[in-house]
Structure 1
Amino acid sequence: MTNVLMILSGVDHWTGADGTTLPAGYWPEEFAVPHRTMTEAGFNVDLASTVVGHPTPDPDGLSTEGAGPRGPEFAAYIDDHSDILGNPTPLSDVRAADYDATLLVGGHGPMEDLAHDPDMGRVLGDFDAAGKIIAPLCHGPAGLLSANKPGGRWLFEGKTLTGFTNEEEEKHGSAEFAPWLVENALRARGAKIQSIRAWGVNVVEDGKMISGQNPQSSAALAEKLIDTLKAQ
């Protein structure tokens, strides 16, 4: 059986440039859609997080105001899967050898914890060294910033990928609050960003890196991941 690890932020807040905080966490659509798509394809999907216990979904992603008409659907999916969400594997215990791929779920939470977490960096390094697929989605690429080579150079320098764009952050109304923007940070570390119009479906593949631009790309990213793993 194909085994995929989904990694979720473990925080319930996001610290802004001014030091204040806003409720945050993982983005519900980016868990619900890929998880459902991959399990329906017959994959085993495990969860990992920086928190012991139930990771926090971003409340904006559970409402029609924040996530559109499907917000309640994602809320129901999370409720229906509270058993697995309530017991994610600690990142410190993750072994890349147990999985064929990992998917980094977005939301503003990863900017708070995954971007700086040493266990996140170790896990990504292990997946990369083993030649396994790494699939960050939306703000999930923030987690990539935690992975460095000996000496401090970024592990993914030169990679072509996508993620939540500066334009999307501005249109979402959160750019001014943000302490840094994902697109800017990735470019500064040496990533080649390939994006399209705001909210457009966009999946970018570069070797074993498969990335999705935004929540609207959740299904397409999961489907590309499925097709790639089945072809191996």
Structure 2
Amino acid sequence: MTKILVVLTNTTRYHGTTDPTGLWLGEATEFVDEVTKAGFDVDYVSPKGGFVPLDPRSMKYVAESDMKIYESSDFQNRALMNSMNPSQIDSKEYAAIYYTGGHGVMWDFPNNHELQKITMDIYNQGGYVTSVCHGIAGLLNVKTAKGDYLIKGKEITGFTTSEEILANKRKVVPFLNQKVASDHGAIFRKKRAYKSYAVQDGQLITGQNPFSARAVGKMLVHQLKQSK
């Protein structure tokens, strides 16, 4: 159980508009860089499987390490073109699940019951549930066997309301991650907008914004190495 499951979006546009969105590239590549150089393997899954679009705005913020992963045949084939469908996933193979962001996830992460089951299976077997930025949307509605929200009473973070306003996307997103997280009983933590910040509470590790992916990856690697 040394693999990490990376969750990506299939959403190509902000619903009701022609404005393209998708995966925020660095939120996948920076995390993958951290965990793979530490010796962990990754698989890629998306709600529908198959093609994963990139948010074109994310390409403005790439570094050389991002481009090396983006240009690799492995990432292009297994992540962007042929991501796995949730039905193909055996949760027992994974030590952690990681929800990437990009605004697209706001539509296809929150109510995907297959991904929610995978998340709880990994959590219940002692694995880690992690996310960055808008990826927290994948955790908002996950419930335990008792019917409680997984994030209830837990310290978490994600893309904040103030960051959504600064991104000029407040009016086009279907909900606000910070508000729903608080409504579902989470203890929402945040720091300065667009600065790296990650929070751990037990088996949950979450990052605030696109610049927090490496921090999440480093926290997860530390925990996985300790548990070996």
User: Under a length normalisation based on structure 1, what TM-score does the superposition of the two structures give?
Assistant: 0.89
Residue 12 of structure 1: aligned partner: 12
Asked if structure 2 preserves the Cα contact closer than 8 Å seen for 1:120 and 1:146, the reply is no
- The answer as to 2:111 corresponding to 1:116 is yes
Q: Is the partner of 1:89 in helix, strand or coil?
A: coil
Asked if structure 2 preserves the Cα contact closer than 8 Å seen for 1:7 and 1:104, the reply is yes
Q: Is the partner of 2:98 in helix, strand or coil?
A: strand
State the 1:115 CA deviation.
0.7
Measure the CA separation in 1 of the matches of 2:31 and 2:219.
Answer: 11
Measure the CA separation in 1 of the matches of 2:50 and 2:214.
Answer: 26
State the 1:147 CA deviation.
1.4
1:127-182 per-position Cα deviation (integer Å, ceiling 9, x unaligned):
22212101111001100123124575423211110000111111111112222111
- The answer as to 2:129 corresponding to 1:137 is no
Gap regions ≥5 residues in structure 2: none
Tell me the C-alpha RMSD between the 2 structures: 1.9
- The answer as to 2:77 corresponding to 1:83 is yes
Aligned residues: 224
Asked if structure 2 preserves the Cα contact closer than 8 Å seen for 1:53 and 1:87, the reply is yes
Q: Is the partner of 2:130 in helix, strand or coil?
A: strand
- Counterpart of 2:71, as a letter, is D
- The answer as to 2:19 corresponding to 1:27 is no
Residue 195 of structure 2: aligned partner: 200
Residue 2 of structure 1: aligned partner: 2
Change (3 A) 1:131 1:45: same
- The within-5 A match list for 1:52-201 is 52-62=49-59, 64=60, 67=61, 70=62, 74=66, 77-80=69-72, 81-85=75-79, 86-149=81-144, 153-201=148-196
Asked if structure 1 preserves the Cα contact closer than 8 Å seen for 2:14 and 2:172, the reply is no
Q: Is the partner of 1:13 in helix, strand or coil?
A: coil
User: Under a length normalisation based on structure 2, what TM-score does the superposition of the two structures give?
Assistant: 0.91
Q: Is the partner of 2:29 in helix, strand or coil?
A: helix
1:179-225 per-position Cα deviation (integer Å, ceiling 9, x unaligned):
21111111111111011010111110000001111111111111111
Asked if structure 2 preserves the Cα contact closer than 8 Å seen for 1:2 and 1:99, the reply is yes
- Counterpart of 2:69, as a letter, is Y
Measure the CA separation in 2 of the matches of 1:159 and 1:84.
Answer: 33
Asked if structure 2 preserves the Cα contact closer than 8 Å seen for 1:116 and 1:145, the reply is no
- Counterpart of 1:104, as a letter, is Y
Measure the CA separation in 2 of the matches of 1:226 and 1:131.
Answer: 15
Gap regions ≥5 residues in structure 1: none
